[in-house]
Every structure is written in C-alpha cells, then in structure tokens.
C-alpha cells in the first residue's frame, strides 16, 4: 500500500490497521518514497547484504573480517 504524507496524517488509524494486519505501507512525499512502515510482528527477515549501508561496504577487502577491522581502527594513533 502506498500513501502520501497527507493521507498518513489524516487517516493514521486506518494505515496502522493495515500494518497491524501484516501489510507494509510506503509513505511518499511529493511523489517520492521516503519511509516504509512494517509491523513489529513481521517475520520476514532480511539478509545483511540487503541493507544499503552494509551493501556499500561489501566490496572492500579490509572489511571481510569485521572484528579485525574494528580492532584496527580502535587502536590509538599515537603512543606516549
């Protein structure tokens, strides 16, 4: 279901009922999608690679081992 920001403001309870019944609602602002509403009981799980923030780092060789990468960036730059 796709609703505009104005429709969401005016018919919030109806939109939330759709979400509660297991549907998803995409909210648009000036014709462009800006948000997606999902129910909390949604059992559909997404892979990490589907998240845009993770996907943009997928090709980096230094990010293959995330734990090692975090240890490396947390090391102090200078020692006294």
Q: Which residue has the higher pLDDT, 67 or 12?
A: 12
* Other Cβ atoms within 10 Å of 70 Cβ, number: 9
Domain positions in the chain are: 2-74
The percentage of residues in the chain with a pLDDT greater than 90, rounded to a whole number, is 36
- Position 42 pLDDT exceeds 60: no
Q: Look up tokens 């997606």; give the residue.
A: 36
The predicted pLDDT at position 4 comes to: 95
Asked: is 2-74 a CATH 3.40.1620.10 domain? The reply is yes
């Amino acid at each position: 279901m796709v609703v505009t920001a104005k429709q969401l403001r005016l018919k919030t309870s109806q939109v939330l009922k759709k979400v509660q019944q297991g549907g998803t609602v995409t909210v648009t602002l000036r014709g462009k999608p800006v948000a997606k509403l999902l129910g909390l009981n949604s059992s559909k799980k997404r892979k990490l690679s589907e998240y845009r923030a993770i996907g943009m780092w997928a090709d980096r060789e230094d990010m293959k081992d995330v734990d090692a990468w975090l240890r490396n960036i947390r090391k102090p730059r200078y020692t006294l």
